[in-house]
Structure 1
């Protein structure tokens, strides 16, 4: 393309790919806000719903666990469900990032600086 410039001719192509990647990354981030994951604990007695970005959006607690002498158990179940939802959200986000980097010809486990 730019004869005599060596590898500088490839720079325009690299910049175009970088812009495409940035656009795809922004779209993926927006889409992650619309994807939900469900975390559970206590065999489904406590369920936490979160976006794939890790934002907690709902908490569902079976009324059968509301007994005053079991307060600590309920608290533990709530925390476990939230942690499960957050872990699933992180995994989903990582999976989506892997698809994006593979689509650009990068290794699936390629780590980006952000």
Structure 2
């Protein structure tokens, strides 16, 4: 009378697996958002630390570059260091997502979240 309902268990398994994957994805996203990366400019004279979200957490400027006539150079180095840190943060997030996709058995190059 109810042929085909034997597959309902499979749907339940799929839903359970999807919920588990969603939980893992949320945990990974939070971990990546809270991770901190440091970018540099001027051969390390300026260092900026940002979170995975791109929020600036710290800035370290070597005092040797504080020369009034070099104000624009210092400003450019700060901007470059922040941009470098943000790019590293994005790269780390992509690496973590690729790692998770691989763990889920998804094809290489498939981007998460879907």
Question: C-alpha separation between the residues in 2 aligned to 1:25 and 1:52?
Answer: 15
Measure, in 1, the Cα distance between the counterparts of 2:59 and 2:13.
Answer: 47
Query: How many equivalent residue pairs?
Result: 113
Offset of residue 5 of structure 1: 3.8
What is the TM-score with the length of structure 2 in the denominator?
A: 0.86
Do the aligned residues in 1 keep the contact of 2:46 with 2:60 (CA within 8 Å)?
Answer: yes
Q: Quote the residue 1:97 is aligned against.
A: 97
The answer to whether the aligner puts 1:19 opposite 2:19 as a matched pair is yes
Secondary structure, in 3 states, of the residue corresponding to 2:101? helix
1:14–1:8 CA distance, 2 compared to 1 (3 A): same
List runs of 5+ in structure 1 lacking aligned partners.
none
The 3 A distance-change label for structure 1 pair 3 and 72 is: farther
RMSD of aligned C-alpha atoms?
2.1
After TM superposition, the structure 1 = structure 2 runs for residues 2-81 of structure 1, keeping only pairs within 5 Å, are 4-5=4-5, 9-81=9-81
Deviation at 1:112, TM superposition (A): 3.4
Distance in 1 separating the partners of 2:3 and 2:59: 62
For residues 58-95 of structure 1, what are the alpha-carbon distances to aligned partners after superposition, in whole Å with 9 as ceiling and x for unaligned?
00001111111111111110010000000000000000
Q: TM-score, normalised by structure 1?
A: 0.86
